[in-house]
Chains A and B, each alone.
Chain A
Amino acid sequence: MSKPTINAPARPSPGLWALAWRRLRSDRLAIAGLLIVACFLVTLLLSAAGLVARNWDAEVGVNYAPPTFVGAQSAEERGVEGMNAPEAAVPDNPRDPLAEVLRKLRAERGAGAAVAPPLDYYGIADPLAPEIAAIRAGEGKAAPAVALERRATLPFGADKWGHDIILKTIKGSETSILVGLTSALLATVLGTLFGAVAGYYGKWADDVFNWFYSVFTSVPYLLLILAVAAVLQQKGVLTIVLILGLTGWTGVFRLVRAEYMKHKAREYVQAADAIGASDLRKMFVHILPNISHIPFVQMSILTVGFIKSEVILSFLGFGVPVGVTSWGSMLNEAQNELILGKWWQLTAATTAMAVLVTSFSLFTDALRDALDPKLK
């Protein structure tokens, strides 16, 4: 028999996040979503660390190798006849600016002058091959031109060059998710900062940021993105993060500003004021933890939106540069492949994106309900 003790130390009441986690845990769908998102993130970390899909651009299959369950197809069926055959004669490039220099170099070495440039593994004339081979031999490294055994089928098929689709999808996920997450983080930080200043100080600071807000929201979001993409000529992952982050802060700003206006008059802020806390301390040490769920939910909404935007931008060629693979660039290739009947790259990129975005959305919906039970 246990007696209720009267003077038991009061258990600290659970905080906002603990309560939210308790509510979230009871939602099976949200937990399933969270687990799937976690799987994607683990894969992302592994691939970013180079443990998985490092050799995604190795040509392990034949061109357009079909998935295993479809079965191997002949070169004729794949429509790639003659794609790999080295061409007989490669004409001398008349504008090659290095031709003179190379000729001189070769003459100095006395090694096989006026020999036609050797063809490399891809059937492309490589005028530098003797030099590179000499350099490699000098360093004591074996020349890497070992012909790969190309497989007729791969578990998930291969693209035009014979890259394994599953590795390519993992690499593409890394780019797309990283761009989505970092640009959402940038937009959230900007929106929270602006919203805090505007809502806390009010008066002219509020007017200035509200003016910014109305300017940015009166240009449709996609138009703004395209205009910035037109101006920033150099492509890169950083550029697209900047474009999305600098144009996407408005939604966070509006919500955070409203919360700061509400909270700055509350007793706990007055108490902080009474003990002499500075403005910055009140804004970010006292108020921010109390409203932190709002930027958090907004960030996860933004991530989904930005992943979709990145796919569209990269598809159009305004996104990631050539040589970087993302779901958008995969869809771009897949568009032409589909007409040839090669549906596997389209399916892989679409499935990966749909699974991630669906689970992320389900998790976000549940997170919003868990953090703000008054909504529903």
Chain B
Amino acid sequence: MSAYILRRLWQMLPTLMGVVLLVFLLFNWVGGDPAYILAGKMSNPEQIANIRAQLGVDQPYWVQLWIFVKQIVTFDFGASWSTGEAVSHVLATRLGPSLTVLVPLTILETLIAIGLALGVAYVRGSLTDRMVMIACTVGMSVSILVYIIVFQYWLAYKLGLFPVQGWGDNFAENLFHYSALPILIGLVVSIAPDLRLFRTFFLDEINQDYVRTARAKGLSEPTILWVHVLRNAAIPVVTHVMSNLPALLIGAFLIERFFSIPGIGREIILAVERSDFPVIKAITVYVAAATMLFNLLTDLLYKAIDPRVQLE
């Protein structure tokens, strides 16, 4: 087991180096000279030269790459270009609010989608099944922007059921007061695609022989669905949920932006708007590393779910 983990970590190195190289090329080569962005429109040659020396962009490319690698390893990306806040501090403080929204959202979304998908798969081919599938397709075709704009306007602004936006210092208040509407919108947007996907996973299992056997033994239908079918369809479900997690961290940026939640996603948007390269670089590299670790974790989970799986 530990040999497997070590080998997998070792295999991540080339990919991680690729990500570092990609980000480096993007920001140091494609992006042009950052000194001009940083200095703004009113600048004289001395200022530019000064900034170039500070950033190290007057050095040869290989030295710049080495600086970048050192920054990644030491978690020290210096200060944000626009606010002067240390980038490591930015990341550390923005993670909490993001997770406050995303952890309950992911748990609720997965449970509800599994429940609905099992139900729809059970009545497969019926009118209910077809209506739910069409509703999902139509629901998925409306932009997430529209859901956010309309829900925020109607539920929060007009009816006053939720706060329009905001964020406090108290965890319970943040979770139950400020996160309620963002989580609700997240559920509305993400359940439809999940439901469609999970339904196909369950349909693959629901006609298998072991289901017939379970029925012949006289097991109740809920037991067959929730214990036998779910256990066998768990691997693709877990793969989907786990592989979605890092993307979700970024994907929730629209929700965070509209509701002024000081999370990672909103930070990315702000950084792109302000051309705040250190923040974007740091988030990109660390999220990529997190994605790779999550993939490894997913493979380890397979073993826990299905003892027949051999880790190679």
A-to-B contact residues, CB < 8 Å: 211-212, 214-216, 218-224, 226-233, 308, 311-312, 315-318, 327-328, 331, 334-335, 338-339, 346, 350, 353-358, 361-362, 365
Check B22–A231 contact: CB distance below 8 A: no
A220-B251, A316-B269 are contacts. A226–B280 as well, Cβ < 8 Å? yes
Distance in Å: Cβ of B257 to nearest Cβ of chain A: 8
Check B141–A354 contact: CB distance below 8 A: yes
Distance in Å: Cβ of A311 to nearest Cβ of chain B: 5
Choose from B26, B31, B143, B153 the contact partner of A350 (Cβ within 8 Å): B143
A141 to B137, CA, bound (A): 54
Check B287–A219 contact: CB distance below 8 A: yes
Choose from A212, A230, A353, A362 the contact partner of B271 (Cβ within 8 Å): A230
User: 1/0 contact trace for B1-43 toward A, CB 8 Å?
Assistant: 0000000000000111011011100110011100001000000
Check B141–A220 contact: CB distance below 8 A: no
A361 to B16, CA, bound (A): 35
A353 to B287, CA, bound (A): 31
A220-B246, A221-B247, A335-B149 are contacts. A361–B137 as well, Cβ < 8 Å? yes
B268 at the interface (CB under 8 A from A): yes
In terms of DSSP, what is the predominant structure of the interface of chain B? Answer: helix
Check A211–B141 contact: CB distance below 8 A: no
Inter-chain contacts of A350 with B (CB < 8 A): 142-143, 146
A233 to B18, CA, bound (A): 24
A227 to B253, CA, bound (A): 14
Check B19–A215 contact: CB distance below 8 A: yes
Inter-chain contacts of A328 with B (CB < 8 A): 145
B288 at the interface (CB under 8 A from A): yes
Check A227–B284 contact: CB distance below 8 A: yes
Which residue in chain B gives the minimum CB-CB distance to A230?
B272
Known contacts A218-B19, A226-B272, A312-B144; 8 additional CB pairs below 8 A are A214-B15, A215-B19, A219-B19, A220-B250, A331-B143, A335-B145, A339-B157, A355-B141
A350 to B22, CA, bound (A): 36
B300 at the interface (CB under 8 A from A): no
Choose from A308, A327, A358 the contact partner of B138 (Cβ within 8 Å): A358
In terms of DSSP, what is the predominant structure of the interface of chain A? Answer: helix
Distance in Å: Cβ of B296 to nearest Cβ of chain A: 12
Check A231–B247 contact: CB distance below 8 A: no
Choose from A211, A334, A356 the contact partner of B14 (Cβ within 8 Å): A211
Choose from A215, A230, A353 the contact partner of B22 (Cβ within 8 Å): A215
Check A231–B254 contact: CB distance below 8 A: no
A309 to B283, CA, bound (A): 20
Inter-chain contacts of A312 with B (CB < 8 A): 143-145, 254
Choose from B23, B30, B153 the contact partner of A339 (Cβ within 8 Å): B153
Inter-chain contacts of A231 with B (CB < 8 A): 26-27, 30-31
Q: How many residues of B contact A (CB 8 A)?
A: 48
Choose from A232, A311, A346 the contact partner of B30 (Cβ within 8 Å): A232
A265 to B77, CA, bound (A): 50
Which residue in chain B gives the minimum CB-CB distance to A214?
B15
Inter-chain contacts of B272 with A (CB < 8 A): 226-227, 229-230, 318
Which residue in chain A gives the minimum CB-CB distance to B283?
A223
Choose from A229, A232, A308, A362 the contact partner of B143 (Cβ within 8 Å): A308
Check B280–A230 contact: CB distance below 8 A: yes
A60 to B27, CA, bound (A): 45
A222 to B249, CA, bound (A): 10
Choose from B138, B150, B246, B284 the contact partner of A354 (Cβ within 8 Å): B138
B292 at the interface (CB under 8 A from A): yes
A357 to B21, CA, bound (A): 36
Which residue in chain B gives the minimum CB-CB distance to A315?
B145
Inter-chain contacts of B145 with A (CB < 8 A): 311-312, 315, 328, 331, 335
B-to-A contact residues, CB < 8 Å: 14-16, 18-19, 21-23, 26-27, 30-32, 37, 137-138, 140-146, 149-150, 153, 157, 246-247, 249-251, 253-254, 268-269, 271-273, 275, 277, 280, 283-284, 287-288, 291-292
Inter-chain contacts of B277 with A (CB < 8 A): 230
A40 to B262, CA, bound (A): 40
Distance in Å: Cβ of A59 to nearest Cβ of chain B: 25
Inter-chain contacts of B30 with A (CB < 8 A): 231-232
Choose from A223, A317, A338, A365 the contact partner of B149 (Cβ within 8 Å): A338
A248 to B284, CA, bound (A): 17
Check B246–A353 contact: CB distance below 8 A: no
A228 to B150, CA, bound (A): 30
**A-B pairs with beta carbons under 8 Å apart, 21 shown:** A212-B18, A215-B22, A218-B291, A219-B22, A219-B291, A220-B251, A220-B291, A221-B247, A226-B250, A227-B284, A228-B26, A230-B275, A230-B280, A233-B31, A311-B143, A312-B254, A331-B143, A353-B141, A354-B141, A358-B137, A362-B137
A66 to B45, CA, bound (A): 54
A318 to B273, CA, bound (A): 8
- Which 6 residue pairs of A and B lie closest in terms of their CB atoms, listed nearest first? A215-B18, A357-B141, A231-B31, A220-B247, A230-B272, A358-B141
Distance in Å: Cβ of A176 to nearest Cβ of chain B: 11
A311-B143, A316-B269 are contacts. A223–B287 as well, Cβ < 8 Å? yes
Distance in Å: Cβ of A345 to nearest Cβ of chain B: 11
Distance in Å: Cβ of B28 to nearest Cβ of chain A: 10
A357 to B192, CA, bound (A): 15
Inter-chain contacts of B284 with A (CB < 8 A): 219, 223-224, 227
Choose from A218, A317, A355 the contact partner of B288 (Cβ within 8 Å): A218
Which residue in chain B gives the minimum CB-CB distance to A231?
B31
A183 to B16, CA, bound (A): 27
Inter-chain contacts of A218 with B (CB < 8 A): 15-16, 19, 288, 291-292
Inter-chain contacts of A223 with B (CB < 8 A): 250, 268, 283-284, 287
Inter-chain contacts of A229 with B (CB < 8 A): 272
A219 to B273, CA, bound (A): 20
A311 to B149, CA, bound (A): 14
Inter-chain contacts of B137 with A (CB < 8 A): 358, 361-362, 365
Which residue in chain B gives the minimum CB-CB distance to A331?
B145
Distance in Å: Cβ of B63 to nearest Cβ of chain A: 21
Choose from A335, A338, A354 the contact partner of B142 (Cβ within 8 Å): A354
A123 to B11, CA, bound (A): 66
Inter-chain contacts of B23 with A (CB < 8 A): 227
